[in-house]
Amino acid sequence: MTFLNYARATLTGFALLIAATSAQAEPGRLLASQCAQCHGTNGAGPGFDEIAGKSASELYNELREMKYRPVEGIMDRQARGYTDAQLDLISNFLSTLPGNGGD
């Protein structure tokens, strides 16, 4: 095996490892990107509820409540744009962010 072939094989291996690792976190992260507009990229934007570090089940229940209640505000409209499975992915991702969940 030449050095070039070895380097290609190594880089391909690293790329696959990175893709596999980030693929697990990416769906929730990508879906939660809309949340960053108000809550900040770290889930603790000023002037809005801190969502970073809240329990996944609490976040999920709040989002589902917003989705199915009569429209009262922007969060109700936002929640309606996602399936329940997507809300679960968002909740799980946000619960992994460092924070105290507004406590």
Dump pLDDT digits (tens) for 52-97: 889 999 999 999 999 999 999 999 999 999 999 999 999 999 999 8
Question: Is 101 domain-assigned?
Answer: no
CA pair distance 7, 100, nearest whole angstrom: 44
CA pair distance 82, 28, nearest whole angstrom: 12
Question: Is 7 domain-assigned?
Answer: no
Residue 96 CB contacts under 8 Å (≥ 6 apart), including other chains: 25
Question: Is 17 domain-assigned?
Answer: no
- H and E: helices and strands count for the chain: 5, 0
- How confident is the model at residue 87, as a pLDDT? 95
Question: Is 78 domain-assigned?
Answer: yes
- How confident is the model at residue 1, as a pLDDT? 59
Task: Read off the pLDDT of residues 11-36 as tens digits, 9 standing for 90 and up.
Answer: 454 444 444 444 555 888 888 888 88
Question: Is 80 domain-assigned?
Answer: yes
CATH number, position 33: 1.10.760.10
The answer to whether the predicted template modeling score (pTM) of the entire model surpasses 0.85 is no
- Tokens at residue 84, please? 């329940």
Residue 34 CB contacts under 8 Å (≥ 6 apart), including other chains: 78, 81
| Count of structural domains within the chain | 1
- How confident is the model at residue 6, as a pLDDT? 46
The residue segments making up the domain with residue 54 are 27-95
